[in-house]
Amino acid sequence: MMALLALAFAGCGDWGVGDDGYYGGRQFNERFHYYYGQECYYDFGDYVCASAYSLSSVLNIAVRVEPDGFATLYYDDQGPLYYYEDEYVYGYDAHYGDYFQFGLNSDDVLTVYLDGLEAVYSDSWNGVEYHYYYDF
């Protein structure tokens, strides 16, 4: 009887904390390293990017998201920075894929793509985006 009951509940899925949350209730824990940078900005409606360059030191970003949605971010020498689930964005970009987006202050946003190939630091006050790449 107990075996049938266990089998019946096995198909019900995970009823744990965070099932309806930001990232499907799954944990995410990755450290990314970026070796190249590129500065981009809007110039009279055109999106202009300077030539890519090698960073003088590696940019390190670490993201940890708990199943309940609580996130910890390390951005280069900043961190740990803590975020509740409603303070960051988990999204999908058709060109770059899944990402997390964190507000660093009132003007700056950091977007980290989960494949680890790119991160974008957006400085809205100065109208500049800094793209960081694992490989170029």
Which residues in 66-133 belong to E strands, given as ranges? Answer: 71-75, 78-83, 88-93, 97-103, 108-113, 118-123, 128-133
Per-residue pLDDT of the chain (136 residues), as tens digits, is: 333 333 333 333 333 333 444 455 668 899 999 999 999 998 888 889 999 999 999 999 999 999 888 999 999 888 899 999 999 999 998 888 999 999 998 889 999 999 999 999 999 999 999 999 998 6
Q: Are strands 97-103 and 71-75 parallel, antiparallel or unpaired?
A: unpaired
Contact residues for 27 (Cβ-Cβ < 8 A; gap 6+): 64, 65, 66, 67
Check if the beta carbon of residue 71 is closer than 8 Å to that of residue 63: yes
Structure tokens at 56: 């003088």
